[in-house]
Structure 1
Amino acid sequence: KLKKLLEVYESRLPRSKYLPGDFISLADLSHFSFMRYFMTTEYADQLDTYPHVKAWWAALLARPSVKKVMVGMPPDFGFGAFLCKEYIIAM
């Protein structure tokens, strides 16, 4: 399931900087906690297989607002982390 999700992201991101378009939106932010948790797992190196997802993630992390929110934020924060755990278990 995790591979499929990353493939969906990868197929969408060549057309725009963010998931729905060229501007950050709630769609990107709703996937943030999922990716934040994913990047703390043993599978994080799989991101190298998805260059557009990797660029999208880097763009999110570079935003001052995201940097501010991440201070003190645990990696398993939010529903996205729960979903990511479920996807990893299904691998």
Structure 2
Amino acid sequence: MSTRHDKDDEFEIVLPAVSTPEWTSPVPGADAATMRGLHLASESVLCLATQTYDAVARGDAAGAEATRASLEQQLQLATRLIDELLFDGSGPHTTH
């Protein structure tokens, strides 16, 4: 097997399943739809980070720039959802 088929699990992070206690008993007052949105945004961030890494590793500047732009948008969404959950939507508190 060639080394290009050897997957580096550096970005392989497993998020909790939707049936875990984090979902059935989230922080008091947390909106289930917002928690689900954060879960999906977090998965997208991980996927886009891996795609960006792969594009850079193979020297694909155009692909890296495209996925980096998408990654930036997903990070903004995830950050907004975190602020909404932690601070009840009372304004942006997370440093960027």
Shorter-chain TM range is under 0.3
Alignment TM-score, normalising by the size of structure 1 = 0.26
Q: In terms of Rg, which structure is larger?
A: 2
